[in-house]
Amino acid sequence: MAEKAGLLFHTIISVGKPGAHDVPGSLSPDTLRDLIADRLINHLTVVDNPMEADLAIVRLRAPYEPRDRYFLEAMTHQGSLDFPADIAERIAKLATQVPVALDVYLDRPAILTQLDAVVAALTVSFGASDAALLDALSGRTEPRGRLPFELPRSMDAVRASRPDVPSDTEGPLYPHRAGLCYSADGGR
């Protein structure tokens, strides 16, 4: 039985200043086409219009508020862990057109509650390239990983937690060490 060809739409959504928050390791659609050809994944074709796609792969970076008032602020990310409303709305709208596989680059925790509710698949990464993500999503390699911190359900839960106690938010969306593993060793 021949494998059905999949049409793939790929986008990187910048949070904040356009282009300033690109996801590390992400490729342009043309480079992604080359990667698919190089990996001999014959059943995938990248399309420019999400309405033509069977799946949309969306990559985001955890939100932050750029600050540079103090010396170290320019080197670290801080502020709200919530995605701006327009980002959540954009992904929700895309998810009404095509199933969305969302990957979020986490250099710090993020509130994913709204996004988790509308996407078909949610992954988080810590600098994985498009090649590595594509390998995991296509089954070429087994994905595995555990969260090094919890992902809070809301900013209200973050504000109500004790700032000096790790994993202290009430009812986190994903607790510390939540993760995925297909291997017999349980991801150790």
Q: Tens-of-pLDDT digits for all 188 residues of the chain?
A: 333 345 556 665 555 444 444 555 555 666 666 666 666 555 677 777 888 888 888 888 898 888 778 777 777 788 899 999 988 999 999 999 989 999 999 999 999 999 999 999 999 999 888 888 888 887 888 888 899 999 999 999 999 999 888 899 999 999 998 987 766 555 45
94, with CB counted inside 10 A (0-12, 13-18, 19+), is: buried
- Provide the residue type at 16 as one letter: G
Phi, psi of 16 (to 5 degrees): 95, -135
177 Ramachandran zone, left/alpha/beta (phi>0; psi -120 to 50): left
59 bridge partner residues: 12, 103
Closest to 145 measured CA to CA, from 100, 102, 183 = 183
pTM: 0.80
